[in-house]
């Protein structure tokens, strides 16, 4: 099983690669080659930083978005987006203007509104509360984000966390899942989640 970990200059690749290996992935290919992505058995899209920068960097690789669309949306292989990689699944992000996303899951990425006594960005360990049975388990994971996924359809919300109110911790439908937390920084909880993703047969 080949797992393509997409390298578009906007992800924590080394840590994610190590976490996937620790979870049992035996053939992780870190790649910026659309042909590799178009033939992978699973795809992971990491992401750190600003929505617009990440979407711009991904789109700048000729054929990459098309390869992802073909393999994930057309052929149904399992896909995981992490942090901003999850946010890019939205229709758009509104950070320094509006930037179009992949549009795989209806929603908009918006700034977290600070609640009294709580800081933004939302940083550190926090609860993950699944909305239904699936890959996500109840537990604690590591978060670092100042923007959140505002899902248009609650059925696409797989898990939430709380930071002065409910925030989306994971979204997904069919063969696509995205998590706002960092599995690679979430110790045993993160590794167990990645193990589940590697075994997932949507």
CA nearest neighbour of 98 among 61, 144, 163, 147: 147
At 53, is the secondary structure helix, strand, or coil?
A: helix
The catalytic residue positions are: 83, 182, 184
Burial of 62 (0-12, 13-18, 19+ CB in 10 A): exposed
154 Cβ neighbours under 8 A, 6+ residues apart: 131
CA nearest neighbour of 100 among 151, 54, 45: 54
């Amino acid at each position: 099983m080949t797992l393509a970990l997409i390298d578009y200059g906007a992800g924590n690749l080394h840590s994610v690669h190590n976490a996937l290996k620790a979870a049992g992935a035996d053939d992780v290919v870190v790649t910026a080659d659309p042909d590799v992505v178009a033939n992978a058995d699973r795809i992971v899209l990491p992401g750190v930083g600003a929505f617009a920068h990440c979407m711009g960097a991904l789109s700048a690789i000729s054929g990459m978005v098309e390869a992802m669309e073909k393999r994930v949306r057309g052929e149904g292989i399992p896909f995981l987006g992490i942090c901003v990689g999850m946010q890019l699944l939205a229709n758009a992000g509104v950070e320094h203007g509006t930037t179009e996303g992949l549009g795989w899951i209806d929603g908009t990425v918006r700034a977290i509104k600070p609640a009294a006594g709580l800081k933004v960005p939302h940083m550190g360990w926090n609860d993950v509360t699944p909305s239904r049975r699936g890959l996500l388990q109840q537990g604690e994971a590591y978060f670092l984000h100042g923007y959140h996924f505002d899902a248009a359809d609650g059925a696409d919300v797989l898990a939430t966390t709380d930071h002065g109110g409910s925030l989306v911790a994971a979204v997904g439908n069919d063969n696509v899942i995205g998590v706002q937390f960092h599995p690679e920084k979430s110790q045993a909880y993160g590794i167990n989640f990645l193990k589940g993703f590697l075994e997932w047969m949507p």
